[in-house]
Amino acid sequence: MSDVNIIAGADDHAIAGWLADCLQTGLIRADGAAIAISLPGGSTPFPILSALGADALDWSRVTVWPGDDRLVAEEHAASNTGRIRAMIEPLGARVQALDMALPPPHFALVWLGMGQDGHIASLFPNTDPQADDPQPIRRLTPDPLPPEAPFDRVTLTIPALLNSDALMFVVRGAAKQAVFEQAMVGEHDLPIARLLRAAHQPVTCFT
């Protein structure tokens, strides 16, 4: 397991600044080539992405993959891909919807959220995600289905998430922070713990 750098009390603009620096570093390392990143859905990322949009990045060299999505049309309010596309493509980036036939790339950065039940992307506890999953993308059904988004899912698996240079989390609220901290020290075996246990890259968590 990698060391986890916890940054407490960061607001959206501070996180956006860190994210801009991380992406700029990735673009420099790529030496003119494109990079890929993965972004989460939910309500947390979009104010941060809005603040990030003001930074001078060469978005034309960035391809953005959602870490997971609901199996709905992109025009549906519950579509992560649709919301990310509306936010990111006007900046010049390309957004790639998850497709079982299209293997995900190596990511310069994977940004993940985490639920209070320890799920990451759409890898819920009932799906029993494995660090050695042979598939990079899976379709699955959370159980129980979250009432705010009662849809089947498509998601990157743990190996696909770990095929990255860095992992980033934004975990807000005492209950979620406790689950994350317990995962760091191996006090449970929820999906977040399985990911952190197998992680080899730098992990940054904003709380």
For residue 40, report the phi and psi dihedrals to the nearest 5 degrees. -90, 170
Architecture of domain 4-206 in this structure:
3-Layer(aba) Sandwich (3.40)
Give the residue-averaged pLDDT of 3-13: 94
Question: Any idea where the domains of the chain sit in the sequence?
Answer: 4-206
Q: Cα angle at 84 between 25 and 82, to 5 degrees? A: 155
Which of 1-5, 66-70, 145-149 is predicted most confidently?
Answer: 66-70
User: What pLDDT shows up at residue 167?
Assistant: 98
29: its two tokens: 């390392």
Give the residue-averaged pLDDT of 29-40: 97
Please list the alpha-helical segments (H only) found in the chain. Answer: 12-30, 45-52, 80-88, 158-162, 174-184, 191-198
Please list the alpha-helical segments (H only) found in 41-172. Answer: 45-52, 80-88, 158-162
SS3 191: helix
Query: In which residue are the tokens 């986890």 written?
Result: 4
Q: 49-62 b/e with 16+ CB inside 10 Å = b?
A: bebbeeeebebebb
Give the global pTM. Answer: 0.95
Model confidence band, residue 147 (pLDDT cutoffs 50, 70, 90): confident
